[in-house]
A and B are shown apart, each in its own frame.
Chain A
Amino acid sequence: MSTTNGYIGKSVKRVEDKRFITGHGQYVDDIILPQQTYAIFVRSHYAHAKILDVDTSIARTMPGVIAIYTGADVAHLNGVPCGWQVNFKNGDTMKEPKHPLLVADKARHVGDAIAVVIAESIEEATEAAQAVQVEYDELPCMVNAYKATQPGAPLVHDDVPNNICFDWALGNPIEEVNEALAASAHITTLEFVNQRLVPNAIEPRSYNSSYNPYTEKYTLYTSSQNPHLIRLLMCAFVLGLPEHKVRVVSPDVGGGFGSKIFHYTEEALLTWCSSKIGRPVKWTAERSESFVLDAHGRDHITKAEMGFDADGKITALRVKTFANLGAYLSTFGSCTPTYLHGTLMQGLYTTPKINVDVTGVFTHTTAVDAYRGAGRPEATYILERLISLAALEMNIDPADLRFKNFIPPFDGVDQPGYQTQVALQYDSGNYEGVLKIGLEKLGYSDVRQKQKEASKNGKLLGIGISTYIEACGIAPSAVVGSLGARAGLYELGHVRVQPTGKVSVFTGAHSHGQGHETTFAQVVADKLGISMDDVQLEHGDSDTAAFGMGTYGSRSLAVGGTAIMKSIDKIVEKGKKIAAHTLEASADDIDFASGKFTVRGTDKSVSFGDVALTAYVPHVYPKDLEPGLDFSSFYDPANFTYPFGCHIAVVEVDKETGKVSLKRFISVDDVGNIINPMIVDGQIHGGVVQGIGQALYEGAEYDEHGQLTNASYMNYCMPRADDVPMIETATQITPCPHNPLGVKGAGEAGTIGSTPAVVNAVIDALWSGGHKVKDIRMPLTSERVWTAMQL
C-alpha cells in the first residue's frame, strides 16, 4: 500500500523493547502503592460442595489482619455479568445464573472464592487465610459437558435444568442438510473432543485497587486486555460506581491470549474492599490459582459429518457440539462456542448446505471462554480434519480435494463479497492462492515421494494440510447487537498534535505483546510524513483515551488503526485550512503530502510543524476556525475482516514408541496489507506454536472429583524451545476492501490453522503405514499414537 516516508510496510524495530530488555517494564505486580494492603483468598478445594459454615473468628485475631469478608458480606452486590445473550432455538433466553464475587451457599468449581483476607503483608494474609475454617458438605459433580446434560446429572445451578445454558443452531434448516447428506455419494464422519486448554499467559493476573476517600475517586490497576470495558462492566453492572470517578489502568501486561479480556470477580471485589478499608488492596494470582481461575479455552465434544458427491464436491456439513461453559458464564462464554464458532463453518469451501447445533453446558469446572482464536480454531479443526480424512477415505490427494471445493477468488471491490450459509459475508479472498504457495514452499511432490521411500524403510512420514479463514476486526456494532452482544464493538483513535508538531496518539486498544506502540506510530508517522520519533502512542488508561473496547479478536489495527486514520484525515483537513490562510490560497487548492502542505501547481508550501504551531499560536489565522489541532474519532466497522491462510506440517512418527517429531511447519497467511512484517511474522510464529501445543502437548485433565490434575507448569505440558522447529512463513496479500489500511488482523491466525495441520500430518503418517485410524485424541502423546497404531 502507499507510503509517504517508508514506514508502512517496513520491519521497524519495536520502540517498546528498550524498557523490557532492561527490566524496566511495569506490570501490575511491580506496583506498590502508599498504604498498600494485600489480599489472599480462601478458595474451595471441592468442585461441588455446600458451604455449611465459614468461621473467621481466629483469623481475625491474627497479626496484620485488616479485614475479612465472606459471601454473606457481598451478597447484596451483583455478580460479574456476561456480555452476550444467546437464545435457545425456541427463542427463550439463555440461563444466566449469578456469578457472585464470593460464594455464600455453594462452591461450584475448585477455586471458587469463599472469603478474602486483607492484611498488611502477603505473609500475614496467607497465614490468616489458612486459619479461616470452612465446613463443607461435598456433593457429586460433573466435568463432562455431554454427561452433564443427561437425566440425573448433578446440577451446577439449581435453576438450570439439565445444566443446559442454551441450545442454539445456525445455518440451513436441518431437514435440508439431512436430505443433502442422505443423497451424498460419500459421508465422512468424525466424533472427537477438542480438548480444554489453559491459556497460561506467563504473567499471572494481578490487580491493585485503591479508593481515595478524600477525592472519592477509585483507581484500579489491572492486568487486562481492555481496561475501558472493565471499567464499564464493574461500574455499571457490578458495583454501581460513578464511572467518571473511576480510573482503570492496564500498564504492561504479560500476555493475554484471551484470558485477560474478561471481567473477573477479583477486580470488582478488590475495588469494593478498598472502598471499605480506605486503603489500596493488591492481589496477584499464584500460578496454581491461575490454572483454576483464568478462563479456559475450547472443550467441545463434537460429532461432525461432511457429505461429498461422486466428483468430490462437498454437498453438506452437519455439526453437533456440546460446549463446556464451566461453572459460570464468563464475559464472552456464551458467544465463543456459538457466534464465533458456528459462523465459520463455511470455511473456504462452497458447501451449499450447513447446519451447526451447539448446546452450551454448565459443569463443575473453571469457566471456558475465548482463548486465542476463540471458536474459530474449533470450527477450523472440524472442517480441516473432515476434508483431510475424506481425502484419505476417498483416496484423493488432500490438496486436490481442497482445490476442487474452494470458493473462487474475489476481491470484494469489483467482485462482491461471498455470502456464506452461516450469516457472514466474506470480504475478499484468494483461497487457492495460499495453498499453491504453501505446496510450492514445501516442495509437495518431493515430500510425497520421500513419504513413500520412508515407508519402504520402515518409517512413517506424514504431511498435514490445513487451510483456514477467521472473522476478525470485531465488529459492526449493529450486527453483533442483532446477534446478542450487549456492547458495541467499535474503537477510538485520538490524535493530538502538540504545538511543536509532535504527536500524541491515544487508543482504546491495548498492547500486551502485539507491538502497537510501534505499528500505530508507523501508520501515524507515515500518514503525516513525520519522523516516528515524533509520535508517541498511549494506551491502557481510561483517563487518557476517552473510551475503547480493547484488544482481542485480532481487531486492534483493523478497527483501532482505522479510528486513528479518521482522526488523521480530520487533522489534514483542518491543517489545509490553516495552511491556505498562511499561503493565501484556497483550502481546496492545498495538497498534503510527505509532511508538507503545498499550493497545488506551485512551490509554495508550509510544513506540518509550522501548521501545528500556527494552530496553537493563532495570531494570523482563519476567521471562524477554532485553535488547536486535536481530533478524536470513533470507528465502527462496516464488516468483519477475514484473514485466511494455509498451514502445512510434516511429521515423523516413531513406529516403536509413537513419538511424533515435527520436522517442518509452513505457514502461508493472508492477513491483508501489512504495516510491519517483522511483527506480523512474530505473531504468526507464536500463534503457530500455541496451536502445535494443542495438537501435541496440552490439555487440561479433570478427574471425576472435578480436580484439575495437571494444574502446574510441572505437569501441564506446553511447547518449549526444544520442542518446535523454525516456522517457515510466507504471505499473500489480499487487501481488506472496507478499511482504509486494507488490513485484516494477524493475532490469531497461527493458532487457528496449525492444530489441524499437525493432527492431519500424524493421521497421514499412520495411513501411510497402513493404520487407517480416523482420529487420535489430542494431545497426540506417544502413548495415544502408539495405541492407535496397534489397531
Chain B
Amino acid sequence: MSMNISLTVNGVVRSHNVEPRLLLVHYLRDILRLTGTHVGCDTSSCGACNIILNGKATKSCTLLAVQADNGEITTIEGLAKDGELHPLQEAFKECHGLQCGFCTPGMILTSVDLLQKNPNPSEMEIREALEGNFCRCTGYHNIVKAVQYGAAKMSAGNEIKLPGSENKKEAVV
C-alpha cells in the first residue's frame, strides 16, 4: 500500500506515492536524490539528517515522509540562493567549521534555526543549541566560531565582525 504526498522541497513542489513506513530522510535521499542530508545514527541522536521543516530544524530520520505531507522543506542543497552561499555556509568555510563534512549540513541548518530565533547568541547558547548535533572531527571549537561569525555577518548586514579573540580564555572560577 502506498500513499500520495505532496510537499515543497527547496522551493519545488514534489509529489510521490510512498510507502507509509518510509522515513522522511530516505524520501529525501533515495527518491529525491538529495544526498546532502545524511544518516549517522539510528536513534535521532546525531543531527546529520537535520533539515528545515516548516521553518524549524527537524531531524528527518524521526519523521515518516507521510508526516511531511503538505509541508515546506529546506535541505542543505536549497540553502544557497541564486548561487550565493548563505552567510552560515560561508561562515563554516571561513572559520574551518568542518573537516570530514558529514555532520556539516545538519550543523548549518540547526544554526540557521538558532539564528532565526536568537540572532545574537552567547557562546553557551550556541553550544546548547548544537548539543543535538554530533561532530567527531572538530571538537566544536570552530563550529562555535562559525556560528558567531555567521551571526555577526547576518546582523551587521555585510559588515563582518569576528567575535572573540583567537584563543579566548575562560575565567577560572
Contact of B93 with A by CB under 8 A? yes
Please determine whether A203 and B96 come into contact, CB atoms closer than 8 angstroms. Answer: no
Given A686-B136, A713-B134, A722-B128: A14 and B96 interface contact (C-beta under 8 Å): yes
Q: Does B82 contact A (CB under 8 A)?
A: no
Residues of A close to B90: CB separation below 8 A: 21
**A586 CB within 8 Å of chain B:** no
Q: How far is the CA of A678 from the CA of B42 in the complex (A)?
A: 33
B138 beta carbon closer than 8 Å to chain A: yes
Asked whether A255 lies within 8 Å of B77 as measured between CB atoms, the reply is no
**How far, in whole Å, are A663 and B34 apart by their CA atoms in the complex?**
41
Contact of A23 among B77, B93, B135 (CB under 8 A): B77
User: How many residues of chain B are within 8 Å of chain A by beta carbon?
Assistant: 63
> How far apart are B117's CB and chain A's nearest CB, in angstroms?
17
Within 49-101 of B, Cβ neighbours of A (below 8 Å) are at 75-77, 79-80, 85, 89-90, 92-94, 96, 98-101
Known contacts A17-B93, A454-B173; is-contact A685 B134 (Cβ 8 Å):
no
Q: Which residue of A lies closest to B45 (CB)?
A: A713
Nearest chain A residue, comparing its CB with the CB of B108: A21
Enumerate chain B residues within 8 angstroms of A23, measured Cβ to Cβ.
Answer: 34-37, 75-77, 105
Tell me how far the C-beta of B35 lies from the nearest C-beta in chain A, rounded to whole angstroms. 4
A203 partner residues in chain B, CB cutoff 8 A: 38, 40, 100, 102
Measured between beta carbons, the chain B residues less than 8 angstroms from A450 are 172-173
A288 to B40, CA, bound (A): 11
Contacts of B45 on A, CB cut-off 8 Å? Answer: 712-714
| A681 neighbours in B (Cβ, 8 Å) | 96, 142
Contact residue among A123, A512, A663, A712 (Cβ-Cβ distance under 8 Å from B170): A663
Q: Which of A201, A252, A663 contacts B172 (CB 8 A)?
A: A663
Question: Are B139 and A30 in contact, with the CB atoms below 8 A?
Answer: no
Contact B131–A726 (Cβ < 8 Å): no
Contact of A619 with B by CB under 8 A: no
Chain B's nearest CB lies how many Å from the CB of A147?
32
Of the candidates B77, B126, B130, B168, the one whose C-beta lies within 8 Å of that of A22 is B77
Q: Please judge, given known A-B contacts A23-B76, A203-B38, A450-B173, whether A721 and B133 are in contact too, CB under 8 Å.
A: yes
Contact assessment for B98 and A720 in the assembled complex, using a CB-CB cutoff below 8 Å: no
Q: B98 near A21 (CB under 8 angstroms)? A: yes
Cβ-defined partner of A713 (8 Å) among B46, B76, B126, B131: B46
A724 located at the interface, meaning its Cβ lies under 8 Å from any Cβ of chain B in the complex: yes
A633 at the interface (CB under 8 A from B): no
Bound-state CA distance A386–B89 (Å) is: 46
Please give the distance in Å from B73's CB to the nearest CB on chain A. Answer: 13
Instruction: Answer yes or no: B24 CB below 8 A from chain A CBs.
Output: no
Closest chain-B Cβ to A112's Cβ sits at a distance in Å of 20
Given A18-B93, A27-B38, A685-B142: A254 touches B102 (CB 8 Å cut-off): yes
Residue of A nearest to B147 (CB): A721
Alpha-carbon gap, A650 to B171, bound state (A): 11
* Cβ contacts under 8 Å, B21 to chain A: 123
Contact mask for chain B residues 21-40; partner A; CB cutoff 8 A; 1 contact, 0 none: 10000000110001111111
From 15 to 35 in chain A, residues with beta carbon under 8 angstroms from any chain B beta carbon are 16-27, 29-30, 32
In angstroms, how far is the closest chain A Cβ from the Cβ of B51?
10
| Cβ contacts under 8 Å, A687 to chain B | 139
- Residues 705 to 744 of chain A near chain B (Cβ within 8 Å): 712-714, 718-722, 724-730
B109 to chain A, nearest CB (A): 10
In chain A, positions 478-530 with a C-beta closer than 8 Å to chain B are: 512-515
Let me know if B136 and A286 touch, CB within 8 A. Answer: no
Most buried by A among B29, B101, B108, B127: B101
In the complex, how many angstroms separate the beta carbon of A695 from the nearest chain B beta carbon? 14
**A21 to chain B: which residues have CB within 8 Å?**
76, 85, 89-90, 92-93, 98, 101, 104-105, 108
Check: B143 CB closer than 8 A to any chain A CB: yes
Selected from B124, B135, B139, the residue in CB contact (under 8 A) with A727 is B139
Q: Which residues of B contact A721 (CB under 8 A)?
A: 126-128, 130-131, 133, 135, 140, 143-144
Q: Are B127 and A722 in contact (CB under 8 A)?
A: yes
Chain A residues near B141 (CB-CB < 8 A):
682, 685, 689, 724, 726-727
A679 at interface (Cβ–Cβ under 8 A)?
yes
Bound: A444/B35 CA distance, A: 49
User: Which residues of B have CB within 8 Å of A110?
Assistant: none
Q: Report the bound CA distance from A332 to B142 in whole Å.
A: 32
Q: Is B13 an interface residue (CB 8 A)?
A: no
Q: Are A202 and B136 in contact (CB under 8 A)?
A: yes
Most buried by B among A21, A459, A664, A719: A21
Q: Which residues of A contact B160 (CB under 8 A)?
A: none
B112 at the interface (CB under 8 A from A): no
A297 to B134 Cα, complex, angstroms: 20
Within the complex, the shortest CB–CB distance from A360 to chain B, in Å, comes to 27
The chain A residue with its CB closest to the CB of B171 is A663
A726 lies within 8 A of B36 (CB):
no
Interface residue? A549 (CB, 8 A): no
The chain B residue with its CB closest to the CB of A682 is B96
Give the Cβ gap from A749 to chain B, nearest Cβ, in Å: 13
A685 contacts B128, CB within 8 Å? no
With contact pairs A202-B102, A255-B136 given, residues A679 and B96 touching in the complex (Cβ less than 8 Å): yes
CA distance A560 to B22 in the complex (A): 44
Most buried by B among A257, A286, A720: A720
**CB atoms of A685 and B139 under 8 A apart:** yes
12 more A-B contacts (CB under 8 A) besides A257-B136, A287-B43, A682-B137?
A19-B101, A21-B85, A22-B77, A22-B79, A202-B46, A255-B102, A459-B173, A513-B101, A664-B169, A686-B99, A690-B136, A730-B167
CB<8 Å pairs between A and B, sample of 27: A14-B96, A16-B101, A20-B101, A21-B76, A22-B85, A22-B89, A23-B36, A30-B35, A201-B100, A201-B136, A202-B103, A203-B100, A253-B100, A254-B101, A288-B42, A681-B142, A682-B137, A685-B138, A688-B139, A689-B140, A712-B45, A713-B41, A719-B140, A720-B130, A721-B128, A722-B131, A724-B141
